[in-house]
Amino acid sequence: MTDLDYLKMSKGEKLVHNAGKWIASLPKKLLNSICAIAMFFVNLVKKFIAEIKDIVMTFVHGDWKTRVSFFIMGFGSFARGQWLRGLLFLLFQTVFNMYILFFGGAYLAKFATLGTIATTKVNRKTVYGDNSFMILLYGILTIFFIIAFIYTWRANVRQNKISQEILKSGKKLKYAKDDIASLADSQFHKTLLALPTLGIFTFTVLPIIFMILVAFTNYDATHQPPGKLFTWVGFDNFKTLFSSGSANYGDAFGQVLLWTLIWAFFATFLNYFLGMLVAIMINKKGIKLKKMWRTILVMTIAIPQFVSLLYVSKLFAADGLINSLLLKWGWIKEALPFWTKPSWARVTVIAVNIWIGIPYLMLIATGILMNIPADLYESARIDGANAVQTYGKITLPYMLFVTGPYLLTSFIGNINNFNVIYLLTQGKPDTLGNAAGATDLLITWLYSLTVDNSNFKIAACIGIIVFVVCAIINLVVYNLIPSVKNEEDFQ
């Protein structure tokens, strides 16, 4: 097919053609991905071998100061007058040795079993044994501390090698005054990022790794430390999550996952297109009081969701204002089951989310619509295009091009939209079993399993599944959106 033939295609034909090409290229892409992963590991092995070789050669060809530094970190720096670097290396080694000897080593030794001595009662006194939770937490921390020590030890060896080479070349070494000055100048970014990096590791990375490892244990309400021990169970929790039957979670998981994707689709695209439609209507020539309409819509953003959603939840209750008025007016004979029937509850949740989401999209769309060149619409009108054709050929492609990444992040955000579901329904009605309600998303089900049922092992598995689902959607869709794939189209 020539470029001219492709240009003559309609938008739908182009979409089908591009989808076909993408599907046809999947085997090649898969092969390229496998090759890329293989090359990554090959290069990793090569770098590891090169590092080992460099360490050995540094020891063989290094002076006595360098060799002693292999065992006493910072010794070479002290001996060469770089007392600040030497002090920091030696302090780190001292802290590491003390930590392993008096604290971390004991937890690491029990990491494989997560404890073997259970808590017992002797003469009415509780004799505490191992604490599986603390063993897992401090075991992970100790492993990271060991990795940090190896990295710092390697930096110490490299520092000695560089210092030797500098002295041999006749140049001067950097001393404490130079190091302190560089931390406020050329290395200032390291000074600024040191504390945030430590915070991210402590409050984000470590809890995520802990949660992942919990998925491979039997940590639940019947294995609560310190009273009870829990241990490693491999992939048993994932088998339970994906298997059907009364003792398993497969049926509930499948329905919750399906509803999560349906909810994310409607919550994203209904808000997107309706918000765009509202923005077009308000910005249309001849519409009066535009600021007033925008202000009325923005008022829903000004009110905190915690307040508005709880109020709406009571509004649609069986004894709420809406049912009371409808019964009073004689329009219905019994209260409408907004929150008691699964289908009603799901539709109501989507409808309420439209009320919340339209103002955001209206504001975003308003800014983008004002930047679409007016001569495009003028040319379309001269060519006889109607409003629908103008929207399909000019407005929508431009909007999708600019807001493609936003749509993707909005879809992922709705998969994890805890606030709307929990504040409106708390996942109810409870019809799926295993603590899962008809309106539960994966994220709210995870919350119920954790807080209400203390079923941490299954909740951790669901957390991993949420990450995998979001990662796959991001990786696949990101490369297909127009703003990434056809970046030059609107330049």
Give me the average pLDDT of each 10-residue run along the chain (491 residues).
Answer: 58 60 59 78 92 92 91 91 90 95 93 88 81 94 95 93 86 80 81 88 91 93 88 93 83 92 93 89 80 81 83 89 90 89 93 88 85 82 84 84 87 91 90 87 92 90 92 82 61 50
Q: How many beta carbons lie within 10 A of that of residue 347, not counting itself?
A: 13
Q: Contact, 390 vs 377, CB < 8 A?
A: yes
Q: Does residue 220 sit within a domain?
A: yes
Number of structural domains (the chain) is 2
Same domain? For 339 and 223 the reply is no
Query: Is 74 buried (19+), middle (13-18) or exposed (0-12) by CB count in 10 A?
Result: buried
Instruction: Confirm whether 359 is domain-assigned.
Output: yes
Query: Same structural domain for residues 301 and 371?
Result: yes
Are 212 and 179 part of one and the same domain?
Answer: yes
Q: What is the pLDDT of residue 349?
A: 94
pTM of the predicted structure, to 2 decimals: 0.81
Q: Does residue 5 fall inside a structural domain?
A: no
The verdict on 223 and 278 lying in the same domain is no
Tell me if 57 is assigned to some domain: no
Q: Do residues 291 and 221 both lie within one domain?
A: no
Q: Which of 419, 420, 413 is nearest to 473 (CA)?
A: 413
Q: Does 307 share its domain with 439?
A: yes
pLDDT digit string (tens) for 310-358? 888 999 988 889 999 999 888 888 889 999 899 999 999 999 998 888 8
CA distance 198 to 196: 5
219 & 295 share domain: no
Tell me, yes or no, whether 333 and 220 share the same domain.
no
* 287 and 230 fall within a common domain: no
Burial of 406 (0-12, 13-18, 19+ CB in 10 A): middle
Is there a domain that residue 273 lies in? Answer: yes
* pLDDT of 9: 65
CATH of residue 373: 1.10.3720.10
pLDDT recorded at residue 256: 93
Q: Say if residue 215 is in the same domain as residue 76.
A: yes
| Domain residue limits at 417 | 250-490
Amino acid 27: pLDDT: 61
In the listed set 205, 234, 263, which residue is the last one of a domain according to the structure? 234
Neighbours of 332 (CB within 10 A): 12
Q: Are 281 and 384 in a shared domain?
A: yes
- Predicted local distance difference test score (pLDDT) of residue 394: 84
Residues 267 and 297 in one domain: yes
Residue 437 lies in a domain: yes
